[in-house]
Structure 1
Amino acid sequence: MDLFKTLSRKKPICDTSPTQLAKVLSALDLTALGIGSTLGVGVYVLAGEVSKEVAGPAVIFSFMIAAVASVFAGLCYAEFGAKVPRAGSAYVYCYVTIGEFIAFIIGWNLILEYSIGAASVVKGLSTYVNSSTGMHDIMIEWMPLRLDGLSQFPDIFAFVVTILFSLAIAFGAKESSIVNNVFTFLNLSVVLFVIIAGSFRANLSNWNIAATEVPPDNGEGGFAPYGITGIFKGAAICFYGFIGFDCIATAGEEAKNPKRSMPIAIILSLFVIFLAYFGISTVLTMMLPYYLQDKNAPLPYVFDYYGWTVAKYIVTIGATFGLCASLMGSMFPLPRIVYAMSNDGLIFEWMGRIHPRYKTPLFGTLFVGTLTGLLAAFFNLSQLVNMMSIGTLMAYSIVAACVLLLRYEVEDENEKMHLPAPFHQNVFRFLWNTDHLKIPTKLTATIVTWEVTVFCFVCILFAGIIEMFKNQLYYFDWWAWLNVAVVGLTLLLILVLISRQPTAQTYETFAVPLTPFLPGISIMINMYLMMMLDSTTWIRFLIWIGMGLLIYLTYGLRNSKERLRRQQIAFVNNKQTEVCTFSSSKEILVPTGQ
């Protein structure tokens, strides 16, 4: 029990400790950061890849479904970002609602997510530069690396670019945000150019190609050549194109007015990103039949197909700007996560030390920048990209669950939970709140905690059933749909039971609408997407978790600031108890005659 209390200790949600970071970011800066981090090279590649092999022209619906799933997650981040505007994103949100151990796991995963994300982006940029300049062949000849899992040669360009971006971020949040704003503006300008220029060659007949005209192994033609399964499979792939907006939440401590600007930035950035993906995929699939798309470079290919050489080079330049913006967005949150965990004593103190002049975690930024640069320089990251996805999806799920727990949390932390004597006889009464309680208690908060936990496990079961019986569901086998209906109704029942419990009354900031249903849907979607990842990804994920547990058990558990804070409170309370006991037991002698 003591171990459980240790691992589940929570930070106070109202952290009054002064921040050492500079509050310099506006809503526009945060929006550009979210767009730049998310709308990278994927906008130039993803639509062609998914339309050719997975969804056909119906890729626009795949992006729409992915956008809705991202908005659900975004709303949860917006609520927490406004209520807990501290550096650390999902890590901090988890720390104030679930506890220290799960928060460490989430923070450790975020470090992995942003490191691999940044390394993969800079790797894509260096691949383009090395190929176009001929350095690729020269480096293979002069500095080959003949080891499995490593790059063909030490990618010096990728390492140098990563260090330069790390220095830009280390020298100030405002300065690095200005650079990001420029890259993002140029990237969006190229996207707008593609949509306008491509519309002149758009042909609606490419959305309705007869099955007889389609080459073998390319679907059945029409708008959705791969069926409804292809649309949802495409949505799972397209969802990864929206990963990155959560970097806005990591900058909450540096926002001028986080309670207002963070919700605006998250929702606005997701809206702009969806418009970009939707516009590109619409124009692309109308310009050229889906089965003729080039999955590696669809936009340069389609413009080259029509002989628009200038447009082809504009798109290539835009992809470079997109990569730079994505790299900045991927690297910007990384030192903030490290700073938050270091400031809480869970990882080494020197990594979160703030530079007095630049007001940034200088040493932590340079350390993670060097680590990312080494990953990009020496490792083949093609098999590690899924690890970024699993960390992000888990963070999204945890944040949505934290919203539910926080919304139904008891307001009086000192209240003791007392189970009524005939509790087992009145389970229905407490689950449905037939007494119509308006203020949360320890009992109602505990009920919600258990309901959310059960909901997450049932979501895993629901995702497993859909994945296991996907072919039977496609052909409408009644028994498969019956299983889905039973588990789906169970999920709905749990959400209804959660909605019956009293909620916290003090909400002066942004709140997720339709709680608990929207956070519940977000958890369900994220769990399903996690189940679609391959087993090797889960194995690598568990190895990374094992490394993190070693650090936490040997360092973080002992040096936790929350542990020290609670020890101080216990010490003061013991002293007060001793004084009160001594005073009450002391005999007062009154002299005779007075």
Structure 2
Amino acid sequence: MSLLEKMRRRESLENYIDADQRLVKSMSARDLIALGIGAVIGTGIFILPGTVAATKSGPAIILSFVIAAAVCGLAAMCYAEFSSALPIAGSAYSYGNVVYGQFIGWLLGWALVLEYMLSVAAVSTGWAAYFNALLAGFNIHLPHALTGAFDPAHGTYINLVAVLVVLFVAWLLSHGMKTSTHVQNLMVVIKIAIILIFVVVGLFYVKPANWHPFYPYKGGVLAGASAVFFAFLGFDVVAASAAEVKNPKRNMPIGIIGTLIVASILYVAVSIVLTGIVSYKRLNVADPVAFALQAVGQNWGAGLVSLGALAGMFTMMLAMIYSSSRLVYAIGRDGLLPKWLGNVDNKNGNPTASLTTVTIIIAVMGGLVPLEQLTNLVNIGTLIAFTFVSFGVIPLRRRQDIDHTTGFRVPWYPVLPIISGLACMVLLFRLPLETWIASIIWFSLGLLIYFTYGIHHSKLLTETN
């Protein structure tokens, strides 16, 4: 078999389904929506509607969110079809292996490893900052050396709270999805309740005059849509759970599309009320929601927003650590990374080895590494996966060995998958040059690992030789 034939060899769906039987099917459609909302709705809902309105779109930020949700919805439908037809762990990595071949699958998996782990590490530092501020309100202060990344010149050596919260989330996940799902659902309810309290209370202080002019910036609606598109990223983590879902053909599409619908409603509602309470010109601040409540004499707003931010970031970490552990499990299952990463604990049906590995990496990154300059890499990894999944619906439909008679199907095929893929490519090329340079370095490392280890230990290739 030539090198090119090895790279293009595709995995069978039956093999993946057989391997994933070791995972426990415990999640419902409601659990999936909670997981998705946990990943999508974080601190951004308390910040983006204000800052983007002030700098790009004005009150028309409402339309910006609608447009961004519509574009993101195209990719969501493509993910829904894949997860319905291929109810397996690994999300875009496994989809790539089935429809494109092992090499493309590896590249998608490598992109998602970057997205999931880096995003959790970045969020853990944000959670630590909010938590330390909360402690300071009670006059409790951690030693300065334990409050930041390793930077002896500025007196910090480790972000202790960031490490501890990652370890706590991993501990929850180690007890199986049933336990962590209960915590996830509770935190999502708290987060949504806080958002709804702001919307309901804020409605009493809305002044329609603040919505005029509605379009203060030329081209502001599309500029705003580009800026807030990334607020919807995260629904793809729902796809990673397909092997642990009851009745995946029904529940996976509900979970993915339901997540996007709920998130869109919440973002639009916050945008309407926020820009109605105070003029958009005043919202270019670090905490626009809290600022708006304080502007109308509701000073409890700052504490409410802090609590909502903590809940939001916690659910994001839980969803992303869960997804990254399942992704690494899937790659280890296939032998492209050490096979022990694909082991499943017989006691609770949990991929303990992969969960432990990603926890250690994320804790080290969150506790020791400054991440501010790397967060754009999360976006490029996500958009690459979105692009291949969108176009991948076309070869997926052509597969005679995969059942398409039941489950979700993208409407207006093949037009919508093509439009979705092209839209993701447009956003990819809007990312800054330094992001592309950093991603080239990351993918070069991935190619090195694949050609020196993965291709020689691949279960798919070794079993067919």
Counterpart CA distance in 1 for 2:162 and 2:450 is 31
Q: Give the letter aligned to residue 198 of structure 2.
A: V
Aligned residues of 2:383 and 2:428 also touching (Cα < 8 A): yes
Is 1:139 equivalent to 2:144 in the alignment? yes
Aligned residues of 2:7 and 2:103 also touching (Cα < 8 A): yes
Match of 2:432 among 506, 512, 534: 534
Instruction: Output one character per residue of 1:443-468: Cα deviation in whole Å (capped at 9) or x when no partner.
Output: xxxxxxxxxxxxxxxxxxxxxxxxxx
Deviation of 1:314 (Å):
2.0
Aligned residues of 1:10 and 1:99 also touching (Cα < 8 A): yes
Aligned residues of 2:147 and 2:158 also touching (Cα < 8 A): no
Instruction: Output one character per residue of 1:461-499: Cα deviation in whole Å (capped at 9) or x when no partner.
Output: xxxxxxxxxxxxxxxxxxxxxxxxxxxxxxxxxxxxxxx
Is 1:353 equivalent to 2:343 in the alignment? yes
Alignment of 1:552-567 (within 5 A): 552-567=450-465
1:174 is aligned to: 178
2:211 is aligned to: 207
Alignment of 1:195-274 (within 5 A): 195-208=199-212, 222-228=213-219, 230-274=220-264
Unaligned stretches of 5+ residues in structure 1: 209-221, 413-503, 568-594
- State TM-score, norm by structure 2: 0.95
Alignment of 1:54-453 (within 5 A): 54-134=56-136, 138-140=143-145, 145-146=150-151, 152-208=156-212, 222-228=213-219, 230-409=220-399, 411=400
Aligned residues of 1:151 and 1:378 also touching (Cα < 8 A): no
Secondary structure at 1:251 match in 2: helix
Q: Give the letter aligned to residue 224 of structure 1.
A: Y
Match of 2:417 among 501, 513, 519: 519
Secondary structure at 2:13 match in 1: coil
Is 1:545 equivalent to 2:435 in the alignment? no
Q: Give the letter aligned to residue 549 of structure 1.
A: L
Q: Give the letter aligned to residue 256 of structure 1.
A: K
Q: Give the letter aligned to residue 232 of structure 2.
A: F
Aligned length: 460
Q: Give the letter aligned to residue 193 of structure 1.
A: I
Aligned residues of 1:294 and 1:301 also touching (Cα < 8 A): no
Counterpart CA distance in 2 for 1:101 and 1:143 is 38
Aligned residues of 1:287 and 1:302 also touching (Cα < 8 A): yes
Is 1:9 equivalent to 2:27 in the alignment? no
Q: Give the letter aligned to residue 178 of structure 1.
A: H
Deviation of 1:193 (Å):
0.8
C-alpha spacing 1:224/1:101, structure 2 compared with 1 (3 Å): same
Q: Give the letter aligned to residue 179 of structure 1.
A: V
Instruction: Output one character per residue of 1:232-262: Cα deviation in whole Å (capped at 9) or x when no partner.
Output: 1211121111010111100000001101000
Aligned residues of 2:344 and 2:350 also touching (Cα < 8 A): yes
C-alpha spacing 1:519/1:327, structure 2 compared with 1 (3 Å): same
Higher relative contact order (CA 8 A, sep 6+): 2
Deviation of 1:122 (Å):
1.1
Secondary structure at 1:532 match in 2: coil
C-alpha spacing 1:543/1:309, structure 2 compared with 1 (3 Å): same
Secondary structure at 1:60 match in 2: helix
Aligned residues of 1:163 and 1:366 also touching (Cα < 8 A): no
C-alpha spacing 1:226/1:147, structure 2 compared with 1 (3 Å): farther
Deviation of 1:295 (Å):
3.1
Deviation of 1:108 (Å):
0.9
Q: Give the letter aligned to residue 154 of structure 1.
A: I
Counterpart CA distance in 1 for 2:274 and 2:405 is 45
C-alpha spacing 1:151/1:388, structure 2 compared with 1 (3 Å): farther
Deviation of 1:294 (Å):
4.0
Deviation of 1:92 (Å):
0.9
Deviation of 1:509 (Å):
2.1
What is the root-mean-square deviation of aligned Cα atoms in Å? 2.0
Counterpart CA distance in 2 for 1:319 and 1:144 is 21
Deviation of 1:286 (Å):
0.6
1:476 is aligned to: none
Secondary structure at 1:246 match in 2: helix
Unaligned stretches of 5+ residues in structure 2: none
Counterpart CA distance in 1 for 2:23 and 2:257 is 24
Instruction: Output one character per residue of 1:128-175: Cα deviation in whole Å (capped at 9) or x when no partner.
Output: 122343477841599884479x99541011011101111111220111
Deviation of 1:309 (Å):
1.9
Counterpart CA distance in 1 for 2:174 and 2:322 is 9
Deviation of 1:398 (Å):
0.5
Aligned residues of 1:85 and 1:253 also touching (Cα < 8 A): yes
Counterpart CA distance in 2 for 1:141 and 1:160 is 11
1:498 is aligned to: none
Counterpart CA distance in 2 for 1:551 and 1:271 is 39
Aligned residues of 1:80 and 1:93 also touching (Cα < 8 A): yes
Instruction: Output one character per residue of 1:518-544: Cα deviation in whole Å (capped at 9) or x when no partner.
Output: 111111111111111111111111111
1:26 is aligned to: 28
Q: Give the letter aligned to residue 17 of structure 1.
A: D
Aligned residues of 1:8 and 1:99 also touching (Cα < 8 A): yes
